[in-house]
Amino acid sequence: MRNILINFHYNDFKVGAYIRLSKEDDNTTESESVANQRLLIKDYLKIHELKLAKEYIDDGYTGTTFNRPAFMQLIADIEAGKINMVITKDLSRLGRNYVKSGYYIEEYFPNKKIRYVSILDNVDTFQNSQNNDIAPFKALFNDMVSKDTSQKIKSILQAKKADGLYLGAKAPYGYQKDPKDKHKLIPDMQTAKIVKKIYTYFLNGKSINTIAAMLNQKGYPTPSKLKNKKDTIWSYTSVYNILKNEIYTGKTIQNVWTNISYKNKTRIKRQKQEWIINPHAHKPIISMATFKQVQIKLHKKESTPLKPRAKLLLEGFVYCHECHHLLGANYNKKSNTWNLTCNNYKKNSQQKKCTAHYTNYQKLEALVLKQLNSLAKFDNLQCNYQKELAFLNNKLNILYEDRLNGIITLTKYQELKNKIESQMAALKTTNKINLNRDLIARLIDKITIDNCKNLRIYYKFRKND
Ligand SMILES: [Zn+2]
């Protein structure tokens, strides 16, 4: 197929949008509706900075014939020079007759220097695109492929989202769906007031938990109650989510989640630049200034989170001798020490299920290390490590000699050298003799403390191996 590349100024295009709704499409998807075809085309024109000259609609005409009034008008306007670009939602809108579609795409449009764009098939006859070559065949074969259908629906949804239409199943708390337009949000008299109160309380210094308690006391309906009609209470999370939701400033943020594919429905989060944000989609409940103030306040609170601490060397290895529960570690700020207590005791101190088994951790660790160091097995481990290191060193020397004697190429030498060196590095980090938790796990099954503070170490090997 020919490609005609003409340097047109984009402003020179007189765009004819061709929309077709056939009877056979009536009971199919919403994606074929006139409104959706129009929306998709409008969106395309906006993105490509093109202006619509005229819209041609054939409502109720099959794609197998080209004797349709609006289509014939389009051709007449092309002949009269009123239109030099034709755009359709997809190839099937132009026609379902392969021979005739092929004639227009391959013969008629190029001869008349008409640019033809089929949005969903990614066909643009003025772009040197591979898709153009398959266009006539696609008109014949690809209509029924489910992937196509899925992609088409996605594109329709995205066009809607770009227009700021609200596509959620339920309106968010504080809003309701406009009875005249299910894709538009309007503030809900009752709950919008509650949203405002939450923001005011928070800016007046109330904590999130206090706000939740206040709302419960007043018996205000909760977001989940409105959704599933279950009797629920306000929680930290439900208040927090309202304080974080930009929708209250009049903004819609959509296209955040997507499925992996049309077959795999696992939801994944899109990259931020793919999100479709419409800042003035509906009436705000919260002013932008207030929202920003709240975010700053929230951020201050969040920026000092508790860092997950690294585990102590023996943490998780020490058990209560009496009840077999783990001894948990607690830090004592005053004495700057770590202490262990029986978890069973800590959880059920009232029921006296066990005693504290209170143990100073540092002392325990020192004792265990002393024991380990005195073990022959431990020395063996160190021995093995040294042996392996020496072995790798030797390999490196041989390799070097091979290179000197010209037995191997420089490339091969470097490749093998890198390999050995990375093996050595790995050996050094995993088998470091200063004890780490991995090594402890290899050596020790468990350690127990009894209520007379006796220490027992259960090894994974027999001492005299
Ligand atoms: Zn215990």
Q: What is the pLDDT of residues 86-100, one digit of tens each?
A: 999 888 888 877 667
pLDDT at residue 382 in the model = 63
User: Sign of the C-alpha dihedral, residues 353, 355, 358, 364?
Assistant: negative
Q: DSSP string of 223-255?
A: HHHHHH-------HHHHHHHHH-GGGGT-EEE-
Total residue length of the chain: 465
Alpha carbons 280 and 282: distance in angstroms, whole number: 6
Q: What is the pLDDT of residue 198?
A: 96
Ligand 1 centroid from CA 346, angstroms: 9
CA of 396 relative to ligand 1 center, distance in Å: 53
For residues 73, 76, 82, 88, the Cα torsion angle rounded to the nearest 10 degrees is 50
Per-residue pLDDT tens for 416-446? 888 888 888 777 665 444 567 877 887 788 9
One-character DSSP codes across 45-84 = HHHTT--EEEEEEEET--TT----HHHHHHHHHHHTTS--
Scan for tokens 């993105």, then name that residue.
Answer: 47
| Residues 297-338 pLDDT 10s | 888 766 554 555 778 889 999 999 999 999 999 888 778 888
Q: How close is the Cα of 453 to the center of ligand 1, in Å?
A: 12
Ligand 1 centroid, distance to 281 Cα (angstroms): 60
pLDDT value of residue 431? 47
- Centre of ligand 1 to C-alpha 175, Å, is 54
CA 333 to ligand 1 center in whole angstroms: 24
Residues 6+ apart with CB under 8 A from 298: 240, 243, 244
Distance CA 363, CA 338 (A): 10
**Class for domain 10-162, per CATH?**
alpha beta
CATH match for 175-302 among 3.30.43.10, 3.30.1330.10, 3.20.20.190, 3.90.1750.20: 3.90.1750.20
Fold agreement (10-162, 175-302): no
Measured in angstroms, how far is the CA atom of residue 165 from the centroid of ligand 1?
Answer: 60
**215 in Cβ contact with 225 (< 8 Å):** no
Cβ-contact 74, 198 below 8 angstroms: no
Q: Which residue has the tokens 């209509």?
A: 143
In which residue ranges of the chain is pLDDT below 50? 1-10, 26-27, 134-149, 262-263, 305, 376-377, 431-433, 463-465
CA of 329 to the centre of ligand 1 (A): 14
Report the separation in Å between the CA atom of 437 and the middle of ligand 1, taken as the mean of its atom positions. Answer: 23
Q: Which two tokens stand for residue 92?
A: 């099937």
DSSP for 309-344 reads PPPPTTTTTEEETTT-PBEEEEEETTTTEEEEEEHH
Residue-level pLDDT at 307: 53
Domain map (residue ranges) of the chain: 10-162, 175-302, 318-458
Ligand 1 centroid–CA 423 distance in Å is 44
> What is the CA(364)–ligand 1 centre distance, in A?
17
Cα–Cα dist 198/188, whole Å: 15
Cα of 356 to ligand 1 centre, how many Å?
A: 7
Q: How far is the CA of 136 from the centre of ligand 1 (A)?
A: 78
Q: Return the amino acid letter for 143.
A: D
449 Cα–ligand 1 center, Å: 9
Whole-number Cα distances in Å, 399 to 388, 414, 422: 17, 10, 15
Q: How many A from CA of 410 to the centre of ligand 1?
A: 64
Distance 359 CA to ligand 1 centre (A): 12
Q: In the 8-state DSSP scheme, what is residue 258?
A: E
* CB count in 10 Å sphere of residue 380: 12
Ligand 1 centroid to Cα of residue 341, in Å, is 8
Q: How far is the CA of 321 from the centre of ligand 1 (A)?
A: 7
- The type of residue at 284 is P
Residue 456 alpha carbon to ligand 1 centre in Å: 15
Ligand 1 centroid from CA 335, angstroms: 24
> For 428, phi and psi rounded to 5 degrees?
-65, -40
